[in-house]
Structure 1
């Protein structure tokens, strides 16, 4: 029988879960409840609990603090997070600390309770299968970890590894195995051979893991899963088939960078200088890697940078930059950044114009996008990019294919279309946002460019649009 405790500061939530969930169908029994983390710990200290369901936001002691204490003092207890809203980073923190699953309260009415419990039951069974002796302590200080950046490549390497090592291997996760027996001298031949095999299999690595002695199996397995999900993405190097890591290094959680630092990174990449200067480009790439962003955040940052780069370079290059669906490792990100830089440099190369002139035109096009809500003119922009009015106009038209005034009008109208389709803002507000202080003049210009008034454009294209007041 799995003994369950429910911790939530909302009494109705606790009572509802206790009475509505089909606990007996999954060999579970609710043995206790508490309104905060402190009371939960007091109960756990004097009662047997196998599964803890806890809210995250609670008074006195939060769910996060409770999870930390339980993971440290009661390592045999499985933890499931109850959360009112699906705050990804908050939930990720709980999962990092050892929670095996989470339940969004808002989904409890939509999901069948039986399905929720079945998922938790299966997850516990899966954990027990992978960690048959979760409270057992490692008697050896060194082990070897075989893992892959790709979860779908199969386990063909493990069979060969097991046979040659002549020892049993623990499957920690999909394509993640741990062998903890000490290597004797004859097995050094095996180590060399398996390293050679791995060097021919992209995405695989063998890690010499030190510092296991005295650590719980369950804690080590959790750290290895976290490492493969987060830091292995950055550490994987196809040029090295084996590397050494201290267990304590895996346990040093790397803080997710603040939004301020991410915005600073965006600013660095939003200029065009890195296209021409090798050292600046290399510094930007290195700084991005050092941030070690979770892969979802990294992709989000790259998507936002692509938007900036297309604003910067498309008017001159007529080439759209695109992002792959996913990256398996930082090596691929690094290679993609280099390929994008080469592509941009080739596409903006204008034999009849100097590099300095092309840079000035790129900057002018970018200003048109960034400052479209302001009263800017070709004369003003020419002065800002240190070119004479006449020469700027000549170069801009030859490189971009239209004069600056027409280009600025095009940029403003395209932005106005976006605002009409995806916001509920008034026509006057939209007009002012794209640089037209006179609503009638904006409507006339919009009709000249699209053959319809702004209000008609919105009505005609309103099917399926996602409205927002932002």
Structure 2
């Protein structure tokens, strides 16, 4: 049962609310009442209701002042305000206080019942969420760090469901109230044979305990993450991490690379921090020989977009979504060749830029709604990070992953479901008057040139031809209405210049709009 407190200076109104509302059926009970604001404040502080139903205008303390005082002490209480026609300025203040709803006096019982139901549903959801977090906190406190590890991994890898990031923050705070700013560190084993995750879990490492109170997060076969506490400063972290590298090499044969992100203030940034730091982590063919790299010391991530990199990334996204397997693997090789040509004096830098471009490709595609599930199912990150022994073997594995994404997207185009170009054609049919090549290409996340090529290949005619045909067909339908003037018909099908509309119509049909009307026996409206 949810507890309700009534604050209303009119006795008859209070009694009416208590007697006419089926409180028990609504899962509520009235646990107190008051006729002025000060008495209400005292009662609320003592009884701690879930819902405070208060008049805005009351003696001693008005409803707004009451709500301000209560929310400062008991922020979880929901407010419902009773208001008159002349209380608009008060109502504005109530909105800023987060009022659940307003009820106009005299109170309509049916309306109050509706509002109470809405509030109790919200309280039910809040209670379920709180109970779930408390259960999770209990699991973590009862020596089950795997739960927290999974939450951290889900947020980093983009697998978190709605609300899970907030839950993570609450669980972390419950387990470690002093947790604050942090850096994300990624540890990757650069040698064959060793298992960094097994080594981190099996052993006890004072170096880890010195820099974080949170569990090691195992991401993939040979990659793990740590959330580093910033209280000791960068020098302390650097010393501890170097000692950790030496112990892992001695104990498990893991010669690991450590990549450290920039300081972050909130766990809401964890996913973004992972993406930023990930761009420092390269497989063996691209790896820097520096064992520890800090993000602020590295070249800016957007440097990869120099000399056309952004266009190349967009082109590959289009190929994965719309192209063929051969076009994907071919474009991947061309990526590599073009970057090698640009940096022919520095093959190591060329390799790193090529890899970073592929990481950005992965991050971009993993954020696409229809691709998110496919990315998770194919475990693409393993292929992205697998060390391998050569660039060609890495490219082969990564190309196979991109081709698999493309194949699965094709499988989702079930019989009866329109293809991408069929969907685009339908969109043109519905928006022919305002559409441009630029606007439709942006809608489907393609460059204008790629959309044009794809449209012509699938539809058999160019985008401009298709759009013009649709406009001319609609123009004929409009010309059948004698009330419409020629320029009005042109405007409605996308041509603001009446003379240009007439020229296009004649080019497509062999006659002017006026000749068309004459031939059809339709009177021509006066210009």
What TM-score, normalized by structure 2, do the two folds share?
A: 0.30
What TM-score, normalized by structure 1, do the two folds share?
A: 0.32
Larger C-alpha radius of gyration, 1 or 2?
2
- More helix by proportion, 1 or 2? 2
